[in-house]
Amino acid sequence: MRKLASLAVVLLAASLAFSQSKAQTTSSSPTIVAKLRLKNLTAAVPQTTIFVPKTTGLYRVSPYMASMTSDSTCCWALDFFWTDDGGSQADYDLLTLGFNGGRLGVDVNGIAVGSFSFEAVAGRPVSFDISGNGPSQPAFELILVIEQVM
């Protein structure tokens, strides 16, 4: 009887372990849909399409902007544009570089942005620009990664 009860416990535990591992392997992770790295920038960048979504969904952009030297650069702003169910949207100054004398891009509150979520409508471009000016300033870089979350 003990052997039968022990066998039942082992089978139950194996069944639970299999169902948990199956659930974990079928879950999906965000998919990178676009990435961009621009180095040695010394001028503004006009509005540029990063990608055009194939499906309407939730996306996340992870931006990074920094001076490429130990000197701070001034004064640049990353603007981000997309279309959701409500129409055209923009986040001006998603990151700014040099307005606070720093070397890293920060939001308008002086805080580094980790990521930003947005809904994008299929067939409508997602784009960015870099505005501002920095005559005779050190070069800077911009990195963007966009993932489809849902």
Whichever domain contains 108, its CATH number is 2.60.120
Give domain status of residue 69, yes or no.
yes
pLDDT recorded at residue 26: 54
Lowest model confidence (mean pLDDT) among 19-33, 115-129, 133-147: 19-33
Q: What percent of the chain is predicted at pLDDT more than 90?
A: 46
- Expressed as residue numbers, the domain containing 81 is 28-148
pLDDT recorded at residue 80: 96
pLDDT in tens, 75-97: 888 999 999 999 999 999 888 88
Report residue 11's pLDDT band, with 50, 70 and 90 as the boundaries.
very low
Residue 22's region, left for phi above 0, alpha for psi from -120 to 50, else beta, is alpha
C-alpha distances out from residue 69 to 65, 87, 109, 130, 137, Å: 12, 39, 23, 19, 10
Give domain status of residue 20, yes or no.
no
CA 87, CA 116: separation in Å to the nearest integer? 18
The mean of the pLDDT values for the chain is: 81
Give domain status of residue 56, yes or no.
yes
Give domain status of residue 1, yes or no.
no
Lowest model confidence (mean pLDDT) among 46-60, 73-87, 95-109: 95-109
Number of domains in the chain: 1
Q: Is the pLDDT of residue 42 over 60?
A: yes
The pTM of this model reads 0.76
Name the token pair of 3. Answer: 């052997």
Give domain status of residue 3, yes or no.
no
Q: What percent of the chain is predicted at pLDDT more than 70?
A: 73
Give domain status of residue 35, yes or no.
yes
Give domain status of residue 12, yes or no.
no
Give domain status of residue 19, yes or no.
no
